Amino acid sequence: MTISKSALDTYKLLKATATVAEDSLEGRIQHYRAHLKSEEKELRTYTQKAAADLLGCNNRTLKRRHDQGDFSHLDIRRGANGHYAYTLSNIHDMAEILGINAQNRNENDKLQVIIVNSLKGGCGKTTSLVNIAAALATTNIKRYRIGIIDLDPQGSSSSFFPPTEPDPITVGDLMRDCIEFDEGETQADVVSGSFLPTHIPNIRVLPSGMDDFYFEHETATQLNEGRDYSENRHYHKLLEKVIKPVENEFDIILVDTAPSLNFMFYNALMASTAMLIPVHPEAVDFDANNKFLKRLAEIYHTVAALGHEGWDFMQFLVTNYVKGNHSQRDIVKDIRSAFGRQVMSYPINHSSAITASSSSFNTIFDQKTSDSLASRESLIKSQENIKDVVDELEMLIRSNWNSTQCQLETA
């Protein structure tokens, strides 16, 4: 095969560009990311009043329990003002002491694997996912065990939950069998260790990496070689190599995806129990979404034929909605009249608090109102908005757990 001179020139240009990116820009990127080092990234702390609110008791009860020495073995620090500054881990430990049970699913309840996907780039998949995860983990005392799988090799959601290790195992490494096992180590051991703890105590993240792109190439090669499906099970890799081995460690797994109908996406579909489709209510996005929906049914058919058991729910989530914008309001009306109850009741509103926190890879629940770059009012409003969305999502999730149904019936 001969390469033309102009193609060779383009290739040289790309090589030179890559060198510039590596030599000069990498340092700058490290500079932007400096604050992402996990030892620096900490979740906000809570005042005694905020801790009592979260625990569902009053301030006086907490004070009394402190006086009795019930919490004296916990490492509860004090802030600059001398008052207690509780971490979320402190509050979880206090919940145990106060006899407030975690509301994890029981073994007969199905693990919820929710994929957040749309073919439209920039419609708010990552922003919605990370803020929903943070709200699920920090705004109640239920202590759900939450996993985030970053299936987008760009690693956007991993950046909000920076890995605690410099060179972490990625989801692609696990799907592509790139890991060398130590003696006696099982797939479950490796996968479990790869879901890294984050600055939020009950969220663990399985990051992505740029090499995860090779999964596409390798799968395409295997398909071209016409190998039998049972030999590679290339659409079952996320489910069988990543999720099944650790399914008992989580209640809810959220999967962030790239805006692409690639082999990773087929894997996400095969592993999913539910689907959340963010829709940004702008004409061009709406149009792209409709085209995506036509393809989705065809793709799902392939996955169904290979054994997928159907979704518990599929919901549209209106994102980045600018209140008062007439054309967006009309599009949302159209979406609601077309899809009815399949549209989440609350949109995620456009918010300067989300813009400000995202610019430093924070969710709106990471920081105290006083630390936020946005106004206190905007942060509180946005937190309340996401909380409304999450309340509905939680209801959808819990309606699939028999143990929760029993609680409702006996209440």
Ligand X SMILES: Nc1ncnc2c1ncn2[C@@H]1O[C@H](COP(=O)(O)OP(=O)(O)OP(=O)(O)O)[C@@H](O)[C@H]1O
Residue 350 touching ligand X (CB under 6 A): yes
**List 355, 360, 369, 403, residue binding ligand X (CB under 6 A):** 355
- Contacted entry of ligand X, Mg ion, none for residue 348, CB cut-off 5 to 8 Å set by kind: ligand X
Binding mask 154-183 for ligand X (x = CB under 6 A): --x---------------------------
Distances (CA, A) of 359 to 4, 273, 372, 374: 43, 31, 12, 11
**Nearest residue to 348 via CA among 121, 115, 123, 128:** 128
Among the listed ranges 70-78, 192-200, 298-306, 347-355, the one in contact with ligand X (CB under 6 A) is 347-355
CB closer to ligand X out of 62 and 258: 258
> Minimum distance from CB of 147 to ligand X (Å)?
18
- Contacted entry of ligand X, Mg ion, none for residue 351, CB cut-off 5 to 8 Å set by kind: ligand X
Query: Could you give the residue ranges of the DSSP H alpha helices within 68-213?
Result: 88-97, 125-138, 156-160, 171-175, 187-194
Residue 121 touching ligand X (CB under 6 A): yes
- Contacted entry of Mg ion, ligand X, none for residue 121, CB cut-off 5 to 8 Å set by kind: ligand X
CB closer to ligand X out of 46 and 365: 365
Residue 118 touching Mg ion (CB under 5 A): no
In angstroms, the CA 345 to CA 274 distance is: 17
Residue 125 touching Mg ion (CB under 5 A): yes
> Minimum distance from CB of 259 to ligand X (Å)?
4
List the interface residues with ligand X, window 226-265 (CB under 6 A).
259
Q: Are 123 and 278 in contact (CB under 8 A)?
A: yes
Residues 6+ apart with CB under 8 A from 321: 281, 328, 332, 347, 348, 349, 350
Q: Are 254 and 202 in contact (CB under 8 A)?
A: no
Residue 126 touching Mg ion (CB under 5 A): yes
Residue 202 touching Mg ion (CB under 5 A): no
Residue 123 touching ligand X (CB under 6 A): yes
Count helices and strands (H / E) in the chain. 18, 9
Burial class (CB within 10 angstroms; exposed 0-12, middle 13-18, buried 19+) of 73: exposed
* Vertex 62 angle, CA 411 and 200, to 5°: 80
**Residue 244's CB: how many other CB atoms inside 10 A?**
16
**Residue 110's CB: how many other CB atoms inside 10 A?**
15
**List 191, 268, 354, 397, residue binding ligand X (CB under 6 A):** 354
CB closer to ligand X out of 35 and 49: 35
- Contacted entry of ligand X, Mg ion, none for residue 259, CB cut-off 5 to 8 Å set by kind: ligand X
Dihedral, CA of residue 309, residue 296, residue 154 and residue 317, to nearest 10: -90
Q: In this structure, what token pair is assigned to residue 247?
A: 């399914």
CB closer to ligand X out of 8 and 210: 210
CB closer to ligand X out of 47 and 355: 355
Q: In this structure, what token pair is assigned to residue 132?
A: 């929903």
> Minimum distance from CB of 347 to Mg ion (Å)?
18
Among the listed ranges 15-23, 34-42, 118-126, 297-305, the one in contact with ligand X (CB under 6 A) is 118-126
**List 45, 90, 128, 156, residue binding Mg ion (CB under 5 A):** 156
> Minimum distance from CB of 258 to ligand X (Å)?
6
Q: Are 383 and 365 in contact (CB under 8 A)?
A: yes
* Interface residue list for Mg ion (CB under 5 A): 125-126, 156
State the residues that interact with ligand X by CB under 6 A. 121-127, 152, 156, 259, 319-320, 348, 350-351, 354-355, 358
